[in-house]
Amino acid sequence: MKTSLKHQPFIGLAAILIIASIAGCTEVRKLTYSESFIYIENKEVKNLMRQMSMGVNRLGQIVAKTTTTDTAQQQKITSELSKLENIATKLSVSHTQTNQLFISDHIEQFLTDIGTAKMFAKMNPPEYSEVEEIVSHCQACHKLH
Ligand code: HEC
């Protein structure tokens, strides 16, 4: 057996210890609620909202610069929309027991709107006006709040 292989387990162990110590901070929060009670913490909501906000900003920048014939940008736009969809889906979990009743009331419509924007963005040639609409949907939900 080569001597270099003997060191592999130690490197692996060190990596696990480092990862575990980083993950440790976020794990504590999960343990404070029982698993059956799905509770979206305010902090989590804000975190997801910030991610949506960054996604929407990126989308806005791409859409502003692109032309309808640029297929590489079209790919980026649809993938950004999918990311938004994922985040919004996370926000929509557990309609009956969520602490964010307001969100559960409006998120379905928002998800539908993202789906529509994605469908239009995938067309050939693409139509991006629905993407711009998403920003106004964010604002609409915030105004209601
Ligand atoms: C379903 C309704 C709804 C939609 C749609 C929605 N938001 Fe929010 N947003 C909220 C609520 C409710 C809060 C407040 C969370 C709290 O403070 O409890 C919030 C908070 C935020 C915050 C503040 C986070 C912080 O750090 O305090 C940002 C930024 C934000 N939203 C961005 C967006 C963007 C961008 C979109 C569109 C992609 C969007 N939101 C769509 C309901 C919504």
CB within 6 Å of ligand 1 — which residues? Answer: 42, 45-46, 49-50, 52-53, 56, 102-103, 106-107, 110, 134, 137-138, 141-142, 145
Prediction pTM value: 0.73
Res 120 pLDDT > 70: yes
What type of residue is 36?
S
CA pair distance 75, 26, nearest whole angstrom: 33
E-state strands within 25-133:
none
Decide if 81 contacts 121 (C-beta within 8 A).
Answer: yes
Q: CB of 74 within 8 A of CB of 128?
A: no
**CA–CA separation, 66 vs 68, rounded Å?**
7
The per-residue pLDDT for 54 is 95
Confidence band (pLDDT; 50, 70, 90) for 53? very high
